[in-house]
Amino acid sequence: MKKNILILCGGGHSEHDISLISSQYIYDSLKDNDQYNVYHVTILHDGRRIDREGKEVELRRAGEIAWKQGSKKVELHYAIPCIHGPPGETGEIQAVFELMGLPYLGCSPEANILCFNKVSSKLWFDALNIKNTPFLFLDELTTATVQKAHDFFDLHQGAFIKAASQGSSVGCYPVTKKDQLQQYLKKAFELSQYVLVEKTLKARELEIAAFEHNGKLYISHPGEIICPTSFYSFEEKYDEKSHTTTDVEAKNLTINQVEKMREFARKAFTGLKLSDLSRIDFFLTEDGEIFLNEINTFPGMTPISMFPKMMENMGIPFKTYLSERIQSNARS
């Protein structure tokens, strides 16, 4: 019997359009497999759900997809929540699938919540003894908290402000002058209840693909983001005019540096109880210090994305990986 697979994308937030591109990559990876019926559903900005033909559908509690016009409905066996940022990487969609009893690709609601919030993830990194960038977190914008940010800026001769619950560099602001602090803190608080103030690093940006396949956890060689600007912004990530390049295997790393990053990645994946796949990002400073930056629980799957490239560089085609996850976890 064919398995009915749901690919859910969109979400209506800042990474909506990127989610659509990633979902197409996943759809193309599954559509020709005669073991599956693939149903591609987009959550629009107004909350409606539509299929690839624009017909409105709804997801039902029993783990079904039903079309609003007519009586057609399909029992689902597995879901792929291809939503970057809210509500995919914030655990909400996964919680819905849990209530439906529908198996899905990716991390649990709790793991998504912990990793998407940059404050809670850094507290976990500290608890797991994983080195990460020195930071200060703020829960309100007051004279006292602005002063704390000023003191942090003075101590580290610069700062990087991040809205705690955003993805793809949304709500991130490099601060080079102290009189910029208040305006960027205000912007960050407009996007999140919590704000992170980090030490600015002059560093290489490295990424590791961590994923489960055939009962084994794979940790890739670090890949590298080579950004011509000092800040790898949303535009640099996705704009067609971006001059950023990537190396699937970063060059000029020592064996010790590679093994330290892979050790941190393994410790983060297991310690935070991640599942199926995650991209784990690092900084490597000019003096050789390694810091875990953040975890992306559903990494980009666009034609330029590093995660599927790093997986395939390990000899595992993305199509093979997806099929194994479905066969191992889909309900009967």
Tokens standing for residue 123: 């507290």
Residue with tokens 């975890």: 295
The mean per-residue pLDDT over the stretch 271-275 comes to 98
Is the same domain home to 170 and 260?
Answer: no
Within-domain flag for 93: yes
Is the same domain home to 188 and 94?
Answer: no
Within-domain flag for 220: yes
Within-domain flag for 75: yes
**What is the SS3 assignment for the chain?**
CCEEEEEEEECCCCCHHHHHHHHHHHHHHHCCCCCEEEEEEEECCCCCEECCCCCEEEEECCCEEEECCCCCEEECCEEEEECCCCCCCCCHHHHHHHHHCCCECCCCHHHHHHHHCHHHHHHHHHHCCCCECCEEEECCCCHHHHHHHHHHHHHHCCEEEEECCCCCCCCEEEECCHHHHHHHHHHHHCCCCCEEEECCCCEEEEEEEEEEECCEEEECCCEEEECCCCCCCHHHHHCCCCCCEEECCCCCCCHHHHHHHHHHHHHHHHHCCCCCEEEEEEEEECCCCEEEEEEECCCCCCCCCHHHHHHHHCCCCHHHHHHHHHHHHCCC
Is the same domain home to 84 and 180?
Answer: no
The mean per-residue pLDDT over the stretch 9-22 comes to 93
Rounded Cα–Cα distance for residues 178 and 29 (Å) = 48
The mean per-residue pLDDT over the stretch 7-11 comes to 96
Rounded Cα–Cα distance for residues 22 and 160 (Å) = 28
Is the same domain home to 250 and 120?
Answer: yes
The band of 244, judged by pLDDT with boundaries at 50, 70 and 90, is: confident
Within-domain flag for 264: yes
Instruction: Express each pLDDT in 54-107 by its tens digit.
Output: 999 999 988 999 999 989 999 999 999 999 989 999 999 999 999 999 999 999
What size, in residues, is the chain? 332
Is the same domain home to 87 and 170?
Answer: no
Percent of residues, the chain, with pLDDT higher than 70: 95
Backbone angles phi, psi at 123, to 5 degrees: -65, -35
Backbone angles phi, psi at 15, to 5 degrees: -105, 20
Do the strands 36-43 and 49-50 form a parallel or antiparallel pair, or are they unpaired?
antiparallel
- Residue 236 pLDDT > 80, yes or no? no
Predicted pLDDT at 234: 46
Name the range with the highest mean pLDDT among 110-114, 233-237, 245-249. Answer: 110-114
Tokens standing for residue 103: 């198996």
CATH code: domain of residue 39: 3.40.50.20
- Residue 276 pLDDT > 70, yes or no? yes
Is the same domain home to 155 and 212?
Answer: no
CATH code: domain of residue 181: 3.30.1490.20
Within-domain flag for 80: yes
Predicted pLDDT at 240: 60
- Residue 295 pLDDT > 80, yes or no? yes
Instruction: Express each pLDDT in 137-195 by its tens digit.
Output: 999 999 999 999 999 999 999 999 999 987 657 889 999 999 999 999 999 999 999 99
Predicted pLDDT at 245: 84
Rounded Cα–Cα distance for residues 19 and 88 (Å) = 10
Residue 37 belongs to domain spanning: 3-104
Predicted pLDDT at 83: 96
Is the same domain home to 120 and 245?
Answer: yes
**In sequence order, what are the beta bridge partners of 50?**
42, 56
- Residue 211 pLDDT > 60, yes or no? yes
Rounded Cα–Cα distance for residues 183 and 146 (Å) = 10
pTM of this structure: 0.90
Among residues 151, 173, 198, which one ends one of the domains? Answer: 198
The one-letter amino acid at 207: E
Within-domain flag for 303: yes
Do the strands 223-226 and 203-213 form a parallel or antiparallel pair, or are they unpaired?
antiparallel
Among residues 181, 198, 215, which one ends one of the domains? Answer: 198
Within-domain flag for 109: no
CATH code: domain of residue 247: 3.30.470.20
Percent of residues, the chain, with pLDDT higher than 90: 87
Predicted pLDDT at 229: 57
Is the same domain home to 125 and 247?
Answer: yes
Within-domain flag for 9: yes
Is the same domain home to 215 and 274?
Answer: yes
Predicted pLDDT at 227: 75
Among residues 153, 176, 198, which one ends one of the domains? Answer: 198
The band of 303, judged by pLDDT with boundaries at 50, 70 and 90, is: confident
Domain count, the chain: 3
Is the same domain home to 149 and 58?
Answer: no
Whether 156 contacts 138, CB under 8 Å: no
Is the same domain home to 57 and 69?
Answer: yes
Rounded Cα–Cα distance for residues 307 and 277 (Å) = 9
Predicted pLDDT at 177: 93
Is the same domain home to 312 and 266?
Answer: yes
Predicted pLDDT at 137: 93
- Residue 305 pLDDT > 60, yes or no? yes
Tokens standing for residue 199: 């030490």
Predicted pLDDT at 230: 54
Average pLDDT of the chain to the nearest whole number = 93
Ranges 133-147, 198-212, 233-247: which has the least confidence: 233-247
Predicted pLDDT at 304: 83
Rounded Cα–Cα distance for residues 49 and 101 (Å) = 20
